[in-house]
Structure 1
Amino acid sequence: MIALILAAGYATRLYPLTKDTPKPLLPVQGSRTILDLLLDRLEVLDEITEVLIVTNDRFFRAFEQWSQKYRGTKPIRILNDGTTSPEGRLGAIGDIQFAIGREQIQDDLLVLAGDNVLGFGLEEYLSYFHKVDKDCILVRTVDDIRELRSVGVAELDAEMRVLSLEEKPQAPRTNIGVFALYIYKRSTLTLFSRYLAEGGNPDAPSYFPEWLHSRQEVRAYYTDGAIDDVGTPEAYAEMRARLGG
């Protein structure tokens, strides 16, 4: 299994913090960055054979410098999607397809957002993926209507099969939020190019499973663990205070 970390955003809402520093490389625990904490979660997963980080041309050098100092055991490679501005970005799904095509990935793929801090390990999620042998999304209960309107929202059956998925709904059908942690079977990876060729939205990563579940079975894995996204300068300050940064 290969881990793909999406880190090609420009985080304009966090300016000036992220004008010259990509959000995943912001320190949140002393000198340790969001990306360092995310790699901690991957280091303990034996089946992850390689970590790919896809970023943009503006921040490529910063990630290269970070990778040269990283002391983990997983092989890490930084991919440059060639974009230079928010207006020209490929979008999350565009970057997934970029990585699949450039690296000719033919392995199961764990996709993660590079700007999330996870309050739980991923071992059980991977075990669930192997048990059900289906593409998987990660969900948790969200009771704040404002947060629900900012994420994907899923309907599930008793077997955790995805019945519907809607990105950023104004009138959410459930309180089951979908977060940027996906596991795709190697046989599914060719469908990303088909999705984009059919005019699928390349932006938010949950648009792809929204399209996929009507074509093949997609399962959901439930967690009650915390998933923190640094979306504003205030949220960043709160996270640093909480993590001892």
Structure 2
Amino acid sequence: MLGMVLAAGAGRRLRPYTDTLPKALVPVDGDTTIMDISLRNLAAVDLRDVVVVVGYAAQAVHERKAELERRHGVRLTLVHNDKAEEWNNAYSLWCAREYFAEGVLLVNGDTVHPVSVEEALLQAPETTDLLLAVDDVKTLGEEEMKVTLSPEGYLRRITKLMDPAEAHGEYIGATLIRPGAAERLADALRATFERDPQLYYEDGYAEMVARGERIAVASIGKVEWVEVDNHDDLARAREIACRY
């Protein structure tokens, strides 16, 4: 199984930090970046071959590749998203489709969370080919990627465009992709960005559900984590990253 980090986004709301850096390389604890935390977590669960999807300011990742590998004891394969500044991340994840068949633990490159999230995914029962990490504890707002579940506990809906009161919880940007899902996920992602290049890869998951797929969720419990979209999120990330 491989680790995978989506780190192609521009992160415009984090300027000036992201004038020359992708969001994943913004520091959150001294010189420790969001990507450092992602790679540290993956290495801690013995996923040391890691695919990183790069795009915006990709050269900054290339320049730090050797140091990131040395620091975390990992081997990085960089996959380039040629439309990172034009299209959303359904296409970004599709760019790495050739690796799905090896099994992948995917993490968003803008999420600061402890390794317990990766552990929750890897320790969950193997009931489906896709398993999503969900926070079912926090109070939800409009911006979160919210989910609802079927009576059997499988994914029913995943979207930001949902009344928070209807949601079971929030998808936190971490997915276990088992090898059996490879072709079906790649096809659903392609259908998604061909329908609208601005859609999220989570819309690809919704496409799979619409096709009759079962997608499971794993609760992460009460965990301090944050998706870093803006300066307030970054301040929160700096509060909690030093405690991991």
Partner of 2:17: 17
Matches within 5 A, 1:1-245: 1-46=1-46, 48=47, 50-56=49-55, 58-70=56-68, 71=70, 72-83=72-83, 86=85, 88-89=86-87, 91-101=88-98, 105-121=100-116, 122-128=118-124, 131-141=126-136, 143-146=138-141, 149-157=142-150, 159-162=152-155, 164-172=156-164, 173-195=166-188, 196-197=190-191, 199-202=194-197, 203-214=199-210, 215-224=212-221, 225-243=223-241
Distance 2:235 2:97 in 1: 35
3-state SS of paired residue (1:18): helix
- Percent identical: 18
Q: CA deviation at 1:155?
A: 2.1
Distance 2:35 2:217 in 1: 25
Distance 2:239 2:220 in 1: 24
**Does structure 1 retain, via aligned residues, the 8 Å contact 2:5–2:50?**
yes
3-state SS of paired residue (1:126): helix
Report the AA paired with residue 118 of structure 1. Answer: H
Q: CA deviation at 1:23?
A: 1.1
**Does structure 2 retain, via aligned residues, the 8 Å contact 1:151–1:177?**
yes
Q: CA deviation at 1:54?
A: 0.5
Q: TM-score by structure 1 length?
A: 0.85
Structure with the larger helix share: 2
Alpha-carbon spacing, 1:17–1:49, altered in 2? closer, same or farther (3 Å): closer
Distance 1:237 1:134 in 2: 36
Distance 2:179 2:129 in 1: 10
Aligned length: 234
3-state SS of paired residue (1:53): strand
**Does structure 2 retain, via aligned residues, the 8 Å contact 1:180–1:205?**
no
3-state SS of paired residue (2:10): coil
Query: Where in structure 2 are there 5+ consecutive unaligned residues?
Result: none
Query: Where in structure 1 are there 5+ consecutive unaligned residues?
Result: none
Distance 1:177 1:238 in 2: 18
- Superposed CA RMSD in Å reads 2.4
Give CA deviations for 1:42-66 in whole Å, capped at 9, x if unaligned. 01223x251011111x412100112
Q: CA deviation at 1:111?
A: 1.4
